[in-house]
Amino acid sequence: MKKINPMKNEKINKFIPFFVLAVVMLWMKTYISQKTQFKLNVDGALQEFLLILNPLGSALLLLSLSLFFKGTRKYVSLLVIYIGMSVLLYANLVYYRFFSDFITLPTLFQTQNFGDLGGSVATLIQPTDFLFFVDVLVLVAVMVATRTKKDKRNFKTKAVLPVVTVALAISFFNLALAEADRPELLTRGFDRNYIVKYLGMYNYALYDTVESLKASSQRVLADSDDGTEVLNYTKSNYATPSEEYFGAAEGMNVVYLHLESFQTFLMNYELNGEEVTPFLNSMINDQNTQYFDNFFHQTAQGKTADAEFMLDNSLFGLPKGAAFITKGQNTYQAAPAILKDKGYTSAVFHGNNGTFWNRSEIYKSFGYDRFFDIESYQGLEEGDMAEYGIMDKPFFEKSAPMLESLPEPFYTKFITVAHHFPYKMDQELTTIEKATTGDSSVDDYFQTARYADEAIEQFFTQLEESGLADNTMIVMYGDHYGISDNHNKAMEQLLSKEITPVENTKLQRVPLFIHVPGMEGGINHTYGGQIDLLPTVLHLLGVETQNYIHFGTDLLSEEHEELVTFRNGDYASPEIYSIGDVFYNPETGLPIEEEQMEQAQKLQEHGSYELQLSDQVVNSDLLRFYTPSEFTPVDPADYNYQANPAEAVK
């Protein structure tokens, strides 16, 4: 009798059930993660359907690549692709827990920061996270269990093409429905949440890669004509300085105190009947201090680096990654270089590694004469170090002689680190109890804020004792939020109110103090953002800014437009807040009336246009084609921070 070959009569390849299992598990895991771990504000049946649908097309398409491999290699390739997609999803999950944002291609190349970020990342990993990879173990177990029964037959191309076609059809159907619900999804706006909500995590990663490569190519294709539109806009948007304040600090030293992670709600806030920031509270009513209570951070993924970038250049940070990392070699007309022509010496003080966030390179492009990083601070003791550098009190104490050694007038910046996520500190150094919400990030936040407040008071005392106080303008600004909206439940307990979209926007306010000896102080309710700091400070110093490309305007000018544009395209103004697709009345917290809709849309178009122009300047490096007549360009090669900081400039 003739033997029958079972493999010959078996029509279904045994790899297919394994492939289907992988697609279904990845699809479900991605959907559940997008639904439960990210705040995507899904609204309505269509958006819910898209959230379910969008992982399927990506999972099917990417895993189908394994079908092109021969023999048992298709099993291994499928597992590798599966693990890669799982790691990408999990990395975004962890990143989102603090930043409320998604990883972009530029952030993946910021590897010089990874060593410094280790402690913060560890606090974001939860014990239950191992469940995220149970499906991977299931897939491995199935592979091991069937190791002697693996189907080695190869798939012909004509058999794979229908799978790829179905995957692409699902993805294009997904895109068509998304465009119907939100027209021009991929071309308008700057909010990554929308891309993930409508198209899914994996399509977002593809979109981000394309956009990042497109931005990188802009510089090569740019020429001098590209800056004409930008220059015309900034000149027409210029705000004439106030006669009362222009030159109020002329000839004075400038000190920026970087209030790490400070939010405006901390001002005059009492925890268990005790002021959290008593010194800063006293400065609100100081006779020589202008305090702005409607001042917003406008940072994106760069956070602190974005804040620095804006205050030194009046250019917006990038929508992806950080200009500090990806645009360090650009041409800039930053504050240190502008003031160098006025006789100023400039310096930055930061008790961390000079390479962190590429500061040791981009500061040269800004024209900073000196950079005092961790290598400049000797005699540090065991308790002097925080996670991101030197604790604020020893930092200010050891910085004092270096500051006093600078030739006057000087323009300086002190970057504090003690009040930085995850807000952990030696309990022997604390002078206020923790909050008791049960959310450790929120509860610890107040102890490090009090410590930072005491350190700032110490700095003011040092300045008085050195004799510099009477001739120094001090600008204190919050760099970004300290508590993200992932912790709003705990914040509702502390603030005793619901955190609505409007209230959440108000929590993006950060304190701004401008202290000038002899200048009339007061509480200023003007709406403004970090983009406005440079022209404000330069006008106080008596430096005209009309010929510079600045996207902010003087906060003290009567012509200042009270529109704060956020990096995702939303905005805040005294009458209207734009949040997502909805325009709100900031007083009532309700959507605006129909008669305000035209005004709301005009403000949004204005803000989006401004972001577009600023990105064009940064991505195309347009300042290399334009030099104001009163400005001396910077040559980064003239600076060497590896040498003695006191002799950094050639």
Contacts of 417 (CB under 8 A, 6+ apart): 260, 351, 352, 386, 387, 388, 389, 390, 391, 392, 395
The torsion region of residue 621 among left (phi > 0), alpha (psi -120 to 50) and beta comes to: left
Question: Catalytic annotation on 304?
Answer: yes
- Alpha carbon 132 to its chain centroid, in Å, reads 26
Q: Is 301 buried (19+), middle (13-18) or exposed (0-12) by CB count in 10 A?
A: buried
What percent helix, strand, coil does the chain show, rounded to 5?
Answer: 50, 10, 40
Distance CA 203, CA 88 (A): 12
Distance CA 3, CA 125 (A): 58
Other CB atoms within a 10 A radius of the CB of residue 643 amount to 11
Structure tokens at 479: 């760099």
3 state SS of 542: coil
Residue 616: C-alpha distances to residues 195, 505, 550 (Å): 22, 27, 13
Other CB atoms within a 10 A radius of the CB of residue 146 amount to 15
Taking the CA of residue 372 as centre, how many other CA atoms within 13 Å lie in the half-sphere pointing to its CB?
A: 25
Q: CA angle at residue 441 from 85 to 487, to 5 degrees?
A: 70
Distance CA 142, CA 134 (A): 12
Other CB atoms within a 10 A radius of the CB of residue 251 amount to 13
| Catalytic, out of 277, 289, 304, 326 | 304
Residue 202: C-alpha distances to residues 61, 127, 373 (Å): 11, 25, 39
Distance CA 297, CA 572 (A): 11
Distance CA 221, CA 327 (A): 16
Distance CA 517, CA 251 (A): 12
Distance CA 264, CA 622 (A): 35
**Of the candidates 528, 504, 501, the residue with the CA atom closest to the CA atom of residue 514:** 528
Structure tokens at 94: 């962890």
Exposed e or buried b per residue across 219-249, where buried means at least 16 C-beta atoms within 10 angstroms of its C-beta: beebeeeebeebbebbeebbbebbeebbebb
Q: Which active-site residues does the annotation give? A: 304
